[in-house]
C-alpha cells in the first residue's frame, strides 16, 4: 500500500485547444471556447451557444477507414488517449498490467439520436450505426488499439466521472493491480444534453460566469482529457517527466436531490479527501472549482468551501475553467485535473473569465479574468454531479530528482 502514483502523460481534446500545450496556453490567456453551435439545429432552443471542438479531425489520430465506424465519443476519447500515450513516452509493451479507466456522462448517446432521426425519416439503418451505441465500445476500442489486457472500466457518475476514473486508476496502482493506467473522461456535444439543460433553464445565453452575481447558467460543451498514471518507482526508473503526484481522493454521495448539490455533501467530500491523504486544510494552495456558473451550484460550492477552510477561505485561489471551456460533462473533472497538474508544475493558476460583478454569497478569490503566478504545492480538484455524486482529487508538486517528496 506504499506505492506512490504520479502523472507522466497528458492528452487533451477541447474547445480551446488540442494537445495539452495549446490547452494550457489558452487557459492562461483566458481564451473562450464558446461559439455558435453548428453540429445541431438550435433554432427551437432558448440558447444557441456551446463549447464545440471545431477543428477536430479524427483522421489525424485514427486511420480514416476505422474512424468512420466510431462514434464521436470514441473518436474524442481515443484521440486524447493517443496524445497522452505519446506524451508519456512510455513503451507499453514493457508492462503486463496496463489498465483503462474512463468516465462519461452521455457516452455514445449521439448514436441513438442518429438512429432515431433515421427512423423518423423512414431511412435505412446501417449496421455500423447500431454498433456505435454501447458506451463500453469506447473503452473496448482503446484497449484493443493499444493492446491493454488488464482492467477496463467505464464510470458513469455524470459530471464527476472523470475524477472517479482517475481515483480508481490511482487505487489500481497503489494496490499493485496495475503497472500503468490510462485514466480520464470524455463526452461529445449532443442534442440530448443541449436540449435537456435548455429545458432546465440552466444554460446561459452568451457566456458562462462562475461566481458572478449575474451568472445565468452553464454552457454545454464537449471534449476529452486523459492522463497516464504510473508508480513513482517506474517513472523514476525510466527518467520520465513528472507533472504532479496524486495523493488520493475523497468521494461522497449527497442523497439529497437529483440535480441540486448539497453544500454539506460537497463539504464532506472535500473533508474526506483532505483526511484521506493526511494533510490539513491549510496545506491546500489552490482549488479547481466545479464552478458551473449556475446560481445554486456556485452558491453551495462556496458555502462548502467556507465550511471546510474557515476564515482562510478568502486566501485560497478558487478558479473555474468552465468559464472558458463550458461544461464538458464526463470530461470536465479530467480536463480540470490536467489543469491542476499543470498549475502545480508551473505555479500558475488559470483564471475565471467573464467575472464582472461580485456576489456576496460567492466571495471566494476566484482569480478573476487573468491568470496568476502563485506557489501551488497542493491542489484540490472538485467535481460534483447529478444525483449527488461528488469527488475531490488531491494533487501535489513533485520536486524533480527527489524521492522524499511525500507529505
Q: Over the stretch 151-182, which tens digit does the pLDDT of each residue have?
A: 999 999 989 999 999 999 999 999 999 999 99
Give the chain's mean pLDDT.
Answer: 91
**Which residues carry out catalysis?**
159, 290, 327
On whether the CB atoms of residues 308 and 274 are closer than 8 A, the answer is yes
DSSP structural state of residue 262: P
Q: How many domains does the chain have?
A: 2
- Burial category of 393 from C-beta neighbours within 10 Å (exposed 0-12, middle 13-18, buried 19 and up): buried
In 10 A of CB 141, how many CB atoms?
A: 20
pLDDT in tens, 355-365: 999 999 999 99
User: If you average pLDDT over residues 389-396, what whole number do you get?
Assistant: 96
Is pTM beyond 0.85 here? yes
Residues 304 and 281 placed together within one structural domain of the fold: yes
Task: Check pLDDT > 50 for residue 196.
Answer: yes
- Looking at residue 94, what is its pLDDT? 87
Question: Given its phi and psi angles, is residue 239 left (phi above 0), alpha (psi -120 to 50 degrees) or beta?
Answer: left
214 and 252, same domain (yes or no):
no
400 has pLDDT over 90:
no
Do 18 and 132 fall into the same domain? yes
**Total Cβ atoms within 10 A of residue 136:** 13
Q: Which residue has the higher pLDDT, 132 or 40?
A: 40
Residue 407 domain flag: no
pLDDT at 68: 67
> For position 254, what pLDDT does the model report?
82
Looking at the structure, do residues 195 and 50 belong to the same domain, yes or no?
A: yes
Ranking 13-17, 40-44, 173-177, 205-209 by mean pLDDT, the lowest is: 40-44
Residues 47 and 180 in one domain: yes
Is 406 domain-assigned?
A: no
In this structure, the answer to whether residues 213 and 317 fall within a common structural domain is no
Residue 405 has pLDDT above 50, yes or no: no
Residues 270-286: what's their mean pLDDT? Answer: 97
Structural domain includes residue 401: no
Coil, strand, or helix at residue 89? Answer: coil
Higher pLDDT, 125 or 191: 191
Q: Choose one of 217, 237, 257: the last residue of a domain.
A: 237
- Residues of the chain above pLDDT 70, percent: 90
Residue 50 bridge partners (DSSP): 35
Positive or negative torsion for Cα 257, 263, 265, 266: positive
Q: Are residues 202 and 313 in the same domain?
A: no
Give the model's pLDDT for residue 64. Answer: 72
Distance CA 230, CA 396 (A): 15
Averaged pLDDT, 135-164: 91
Residue predicted with more confidence, 305 or 1: 305
> Do both 194 and 154 map to the same domain?
yes
Examine the fold and report which residue of 218, 237, 256 is the final residue of a domain before the chain moves on. 237
Residue 390 Ramachandran class (φ > 0 left, ψ -120 to 50 alpha, else beta): beta
pLDDT at 261 over 90: no
CA dihedral 132, 138, 143, 144 (to 10 degrees): 10
Do 111 and 164 lie in a common domain?
yes
CATH number at 304 reads 3.40.47.10
Q: Is residue 186 part of a domain?
A: yes
96 — pLDDT class (breaks 50, 70, 90) = confident
Separation between Cα atoms, residue 225 and residue 111, nearest integer Å: 21
Residues 329 and 365 in one domain: yes
pLDDT tier for residue 257 given thresholds of 50, 70 and 90: confident
Query: For residue 319, what pLDDT is reported?
Result: 98
403 within domain boundaries: no
User: For residue 33, is it within any domain?
Assistant: yes
Q: 126 pLDDT band (50/70/90 cuts)?
A: low
pLDDT for 406: 41
How far is Cα of residue 360 from the mean position of the Cα atoms in its chain? 28
Q: How much is the average pLDDT of 126-144? A: 75
Mean pLDDT score, 290-313: 96
pLDDT at res. 115: 56
- 260 and 329 in one domain? yes
What are φ and ψ of residue 225, in 5° steps?
-135, 125
From residue 38, give the alpha-carbon distance in Å to each of 173, 238, 324. Answer: 41, 45, 18
- Does some domain include residue 402? no
> Virtual CA dihedral for 61, 51, 32, 86, nearest 10 degrees?
-20
User: Residues 122-146: what's their mean pLDDT?
Assistant: 75
Whether 402 shows a pLDDT value over 60: the answer reads: no
Mean pLDDT of 99-113: 80
Q: 352 and 286, same structural domain? A: yes
Structural domain range at position 298: 248-396
Say yes or no to pLDDT of 407 above 60: no
**All three cell numbers of 55:** 477543428
237, 257, 283: which is the final residue of a domain? 237
- The predicted pLDDT at position 334 comes to 98
In this structure, of 56-65, 71-80, 129-138, 154-163, the range with the lowest mean pLDDT score is 129-138
Amino acid at each position: 500500500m506504499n506505492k506512490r502514483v504520479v502523472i507522466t502523460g497528458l492528452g487533451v481534446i477541447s474547445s480551446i485547444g488540442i494537445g495539452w500545450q495549446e490547452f494550457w496556453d489558452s487557459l492562461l490567456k483566458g481564451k473562450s471556447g464558446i461559439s455558435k453551435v453548428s453540429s445541431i439545429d438550435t433554432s427551437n432552443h432558448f440558447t444557441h451557444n456551446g463549447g464545440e471542438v471545431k477543428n477536430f479531425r479524427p483522421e489525424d489520430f485514427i486511420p480514416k477507414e476505422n474512424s468512420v465506424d466510431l462514434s464521436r465519443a470514441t473518436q474524442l476519447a481515443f484521440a486524447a488517449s493517443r496524445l497522452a500515450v505519446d506524451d508519456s513516452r512510455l513503451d507499453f509493451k514493457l508492462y503486463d498490467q496496463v489498465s483503462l479507466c474512463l468516465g462519461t456522462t452521455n457516452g455514445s448517446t449521439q448514436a441513438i439520436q442518429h438512429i432515431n432521426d433515421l427512423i423518423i425519416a423512414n431511412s435505412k439503418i446501417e449496421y455500423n450505426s447500431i454498433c456505435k451505441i454501447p458506451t463500453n465500445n469506447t473503452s473496448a476500442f482503446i484497449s484493443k488499439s493499444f493492446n491493454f489486457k488488464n482492467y477496463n472500466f467505464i464510470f458513469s457518475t455524470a459530471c464527476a466521472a472523470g475524477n472517479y476514473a482517475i481515483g480508481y486508476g490511482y487505487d489500481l496502482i497503489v494496490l499493485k493491480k496495475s503497472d500503468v493506467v490510462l485514466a480520464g473522461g470524455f463526452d461529445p456535444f449532443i442534442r440530448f444534453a443541449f436540449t435537456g439543460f435548455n429545458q432546465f433553464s440552466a444554460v446561459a445565453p452568451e457566456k458562462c460566469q462562475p461566481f458572478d452575481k449575474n451568472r445565468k447558467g452553464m454552457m454545454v460543451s464537449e471534449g476529452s482529457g486523459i492522463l497516464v498514471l504510473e508508480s513513482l518507482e517506474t517513472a523514476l526508473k525510466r527518467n520520465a517527466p513528472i507533472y504532479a503526484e496524486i495523493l488520493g481522493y475523497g468521494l461522497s454521495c449527497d442523497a439529497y436531490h437529483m440535480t441540486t448539490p448539497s453544500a454539506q455533501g460537497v463539504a464532506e467530500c472535500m473533508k474526506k479527501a483532505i483526511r484521506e491523504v493526511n494533510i490539513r486544510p491549510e496545506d491546500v494552495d489552490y482549488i479547481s472549482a466545479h464552478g458551473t456558473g449556475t446560481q445554486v451550484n456556485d452558491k453551495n460550492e462556496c458555502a462548502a468551501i467556507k465550511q471546510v477552510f474557515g476564515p482562510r477561505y478568502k486566501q485560497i485561489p478558487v478558479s473555474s475553467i468552465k468559464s472558458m471551456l463550458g461544461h464538458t460533462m464526463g470530461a470536465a473533472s479530467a480536463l480540470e485535473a490536467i489543469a491542476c497538474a499543470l498549475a502545480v508544475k508551473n505555479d500558475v493558476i488559470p483564471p475565471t473569465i467573464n467575472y464582472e460583478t461580485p456576489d456576496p454569497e460567492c466571495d471566494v478569490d476566484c482569480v478573476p479574468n487573468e491568470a496568476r503566478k502563485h506557489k501551488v504545492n497542493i491542489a484540490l480538484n472538485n467535481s460534483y454531479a447529478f444525483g449527488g455524486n461528488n469527488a475531490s482529487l488531491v494533487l501535489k508538486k513533485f520536486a524533480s530528482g527527489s524521492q522524499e517528496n511525500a507529505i
